[in-house]
Amino acid sequence: MRMSTMEPAVLYERSGVIGYVTLNRPRVLNAMNDEWIHALAAAAQTAGDDSAARVVVVRGAGRAFCAGADLKEIPRRQELMEHWQTHIGPEQEIARRFRRLGKPLIAQVHGYAVGGGCEVAMLADIRIAAEGTKLGFTEVKVGATVTMGGLYNLPRIVGAGRAFELLYTAELIDAQEAMRIGLVNRVVPADQLDSTVRALAEKIASHYPAELALTREGVYRAMDMDFDAAAEMELGAALISHLAGSRIEGMARQAERIHQRKGGSR
CA distances from 244 to 206, 211, 240 (A): 18, 10, 6
Residues in the chain: 266
Q: Which amino acid, residue 164?
A: F
Cα 20 to Cα 12: distance, rounded to the nearest angstrom: 6
Cα 235 to Cα 229: distance, rounded to the nearest angstrom: 10
Cβ-count burial of 168 within 10 angstroms (0-12 exposed, 13-18 middle, 19+ buried)? Answer: exposed
Contact by Cβ (8 Å): 136, 162:
no
Cα 227 to Cα 235: distance, rounded to the nearest angstrom: 12
Contacts of 50 (CB under 8 A, 6+ apart): 12, 14, 19
Q: Which amino acid, residue 31?
A: A
Sign of the CA dihedral with 143 first, then 148, 153, and 157 last = negative
Residues annotated as catalytic are: 119, 139
Chain centre to alpha carbon of residue 176:
19
| DSSP conformational letter for 32 | B
Cα 60 to Cα 29: distance, rounded to the nearest angstrom: 8
Radius of gyration of the chain (CA): 20
